[in-house]
Amino acid sequence: MLKKSACLILLLTLTSAAPLYPLFSQSGEGDPPEKKPAGSDYQRVVKIIILENIGPAEVEETLSGISKTWGLFPSLEYLSLSLPGAEKEILILRGYAADVTLAEEITSSLDAAHPASAALFPLPLENLRAPLMKEKLLELSREAGSGWEEKQFLIFPPGPAGSLFFRGAAPDAKKVKVLKDALDQPQYGSFTDSWVNFWRVFRRDAASHFITISTYFASALILILIHFILIKIPWLGKRYERCFTLVWTKLLDTIKGRDFAFEVIKSITEIAVESAQEYGQDEGGEPVAAGAVPGATSRRERARSIARELLVYRGINPDDPQVERVVDNVINAEILKLKNRKMQEEV
């Protein structure tokens, strides 16, 4: 009985002393595990990666192989996405921040090292035709060493009227478009290119202003029809025709430029009077009455003859009564000026 009591007291003593044991422990093995701080690399994140050249399936296969070989990316999850109508593909990564960051660096390196995929890019032209532009681009490529080949430039449909396309990578297509814009100028085209460009612009403008052109044409036809109807009316026709003739005569006189014709006749007559004066000085004057200009009569006839020749040369009828009166008046005025000038000199 005494032995059982002693054992029970010893067990209770050890049990009550157990919580105090870590306080005296020097090794620290009884310390509780530390918690990971919030926002560390073990927090799950989502990253969207836009791929330029390589596909999402190839990236996923490569990262999975790396994970199996070296035990990386244990938390990485993949989701590929293709947008309708977009040339680029999207890869979405989810996992720990450290795994996603490393996977993103590897994906970017793979995408940059992968050769760019070839695509077909249109090259719209405004002034030059497709065959001439293709020839100029290939010549420029050979001189600059760009390395573009003839098979990369396609013309469809085949022929001078076809459109030009470039088959290659997107960066090369951008360079080709810049050169195309610099060369697509009217001064670099041939006569055929200029004519084709003019006809294309004319058709485009005619199509854009078709309603306006049709309205003017229809209005002209309606006016001509009304004109012929009014002429055929018995009582109104004669008066309308008389007014019509008067208006158009005045209009045509203005268009012909009567003022300009008068200035031409006046200038020609002045030249004729000066020429006749020089002729009189060379030939010698004839004796005339006192107070008259020496050789005035002969000079007048000579000036009239010279003016006639000059008017015929200019296409003006010198036998027109109005033209004759203008010529005589100008000759008389010029001779009068000469007479006054000589009288002033004598005084």
Q: Could you read off the pLDDT of 188-230 as tens digits, one per residue?
A: 667 776 777 777 777 777 777 788 888 888 898 998 898 888 8
Q: Could you read off the pLDDT of 28-52 as tens digits, one per residue?
A: 444 444 444 455 557 889 888 888 7
Question: 76-90, 99-113, 207-221, 304-318: lowest mean pLDDT where?
Answer: 76-90
Q: What is the pLDDT of residue 192?
A: 73
Query: Which amino acid is present at 174?
Result: K
3 state SS for the chain: CHHHHHHHHHHHHHHHHHHHCHHHCCCCCCCCCCCCCCCCCCCEEEEEEEECCCCHHHHHHHHHHHHHHHCCCCCCEEEEEECCCCCCEEEEEEEEHHHHHHHHHHHHHHHHHCCCCCEEEEECCCCCCHHHHHHHHHHHHHHHCCCCCHHHEEEECCCCCCEEEEEECHHHHHHHHHHHHHHCCHHHCCHHHHHHHHHHHHHHHHHHCHHHHHHHHHHHHHHHHHHHHHHHCHHHHHHHHHHHHHHHHHHHHHHHCHHHHHHHHHHHHHHHHHHHHHHHHHHCCCCCCCCCCCCHHHHHHHHHHHHHHHHHHCCCCCCCHHHHHHHHHHHHHHHHHHHHHHHHHHC
Partners of 80 in the β-ladder? 91
Query: Which amino acid is present at 304?
Result: R
Average pLDDT over residues 288-302: 58
**130 pLDDT above the threshold of 60:** yes
**Which residues, 6+ apart, have CB-to-CB distance to 174 below 8 Å?**
none
Instruction: Report the largest interatomic distance among the alpha carbons of the chain, rounded to a whole angstrom.
Output: 192
Q: What is the CA radius of gyration of the chain?
A: 52
CB neighbours of residue 249 within 10 Å: 10
Q: Which two tokens stand for residue 68?
A: 């199996």
Q: pTM for this one?
A: 0.33
Question: Within a 13 Å sphere around the CA of 213, how many CA atoms are in the beta-carbon half?
Answer: 8
Question: 30-39, 85-94, 174-183: lowest mean pLDDT where?
Answer: 30-39
Distance CA 130, CA 2 (A): 118
More confident call, 10 vs 236: 236
